[in-house]
Amino acid sequence: MPPSNAAPIIEIDGISKSFGAFKVLNDLSFSVAPGEKLALIGPSGSGKTTILRILMTLEGIDSGTIRVAGDNLYQMERNGKLQQADEAHLHKMREKIGMVFQLFNLFPHKCVLDNVTLAPMLTKGVARKDAEQHAMELLDMVGLADKAKSMPSQLSGGQKQRVAIARALALKPKIMLFDEVTSALDPELVEEVLNVLWRLCRETDMTMLLVTHEMGFAHDFADRVLFFDRGRIVEDGKPDEIFRNPKQERTQAFLKKIIAAGHRI
């Protein structure tokens, strides 16, 4: 458990975001302490994935501010005035953040090893030899060192997702975002991916934000759980409080539905 008095690594202050007439995020605020493992749960369309996409700069915001490690994500100061962030600023901010996607998004024309080494070599100028050595360590950590020369099309979904995790880790981000990383997997492949997340959770001090429908895993993994509904945080607390003793009616209703669907908590 990270010290609660540390300056937050992510500060989200009053952000709103609409897709057309649909307000996905409505005046949302929360902050995340360095090293904190956060689970974001809630019904689909509640805005939890959008939060991750905004942090990764895949979507912009309509209003509000976001600070990552003290720096404003979408605005920058120039000549004493706040301006819209340019590409160079976003590029610098993205160095701190890594993301793993629901559908893996591996590069299908590159072998597993090249998928992992590509970004460090291109964005940080790491020499091939060093990049490959680090990549092999990461692939070993996710249990896929023997697949280094395979193409993504030769891997199972669970293996692809583990490569995607290694690929994101290769850039050594401070913050990792996991967007429903097991939702697209066959049930028997879920565990191998969760095991990797579990190791990262125990063995690193990275800040991790996890959007998931695996309530049992969220309970064990997270220091803190945010329950989202209709673009707002309805409940924010320790896993035991949220899962065992939810205070809000909407949280109770959601968990009831999840349990009815056969998920373990």
Partner 1 sequence: MGQWAGYLQLILDGAVVTIQLTLMGSALALVMAFIAGLGRLSRIAPLRWLATAYIEFFRGTSIFVQLFWAYFVLPLFGFSLTPLQAGVLALGLNVGAYGAEVVRGAIRSIGKEQYEACIALNLTRWQGLRKIILPQAFVLMLPTFGNNAIELLKASAVVSLISLTDMTFQAQVVRAQTGNTLVPFLTILLLYFVIASVISFAIRGLERYLTRGLDGIRS
Residues 3-42, one symbol each (x = binds partner 1 by CB under 8 A, - = not), give ----------------------------------------
Residue 143, C-beta contacts closer than 8 angstroms, at least 6 positions apart: 162, 192, 196
Cα(157)–Cα(197) distance, rounded to whole angstroms? 15
Q: Which amino acid is at 141?
A: M
Cα(191)–Cα(99) distance, rounded to whole angstroms? 19
Judged by CB, which is closer to partner 1: 149, or 264?
149
Judged by CB, which is closer to partner 1: 91, or 264?
91
Min separation Cβ 251 and partner 1, Å: 30
Distances (CA, A) of 66 to 13, 39, 253, 262: 6, 19, 31, 37
The answer to whether 136 contacts partner 1 (rule: CB under 8 A) is no
Residues 151-180, one symbol each (x = binds partner 1 by CB under 8 A, - = not), give xxxx------------xx--x---------
> Among 65-73, 145-153, 186-194, 247-255, which window interacts with partner 1 (CB under 8 A)?
145-153
The answer to whether 119 contacts partner 1 (rule: CB under 8 A) is yes
Min separation Cβ 58 and partner 1, Å: 5
Min separation Cβ 254 and partner 1, Å: 28
Among positions 67-96, residues that touch partner 1 (CB under 8 A) are 87, 91, 94-95
Alpha helices in the chain, H assignment, sequence order:
48-55, 87-94, 112-124, 128-141, 157-169, 187-203, 215-221, 239-244, 249-260
Min separation Cβ 88 and partner 1, Å: 10
Judged by CB, which is closer to partner 1: 95, or 191?
95
Opening angle at CA 178, ends 200 and 75, nearest 5: 115
The answer to whether 122 contacts partner 1 (rule: CB under 8 A) is yes
Of 86, 97, 90, nearest to 206 (Cα)?
Answer: 97
- CB atoms near residue 188 (< 10 Å): 9
Which helix (H) or strand (E) segment holds residue 46: the answer is: none
Judged by CB, which is closer to partner 1: 173, or 237?
173
Residue 32 forms beta bridges with which residues?
10
The answer to whether 118 contacts partner 1 (rule: CB under 8 A) is yes
The answer to whether 184 contacts partner 1 (rule: CB under 8 A) is no
**Signed CA dihedral, 240, 244, 249, 254: sign only:** positive
The residue count for binding partner 1 (CB under 8 A) is 28
Which spans of this chain sit near partner 1 (rule: CB under 8 A)? 56-58, 87, 91, 94-95, 98-99, 101, 103, 105-109, 111, 118-119, 122-123, 151-154, 167-168, 171
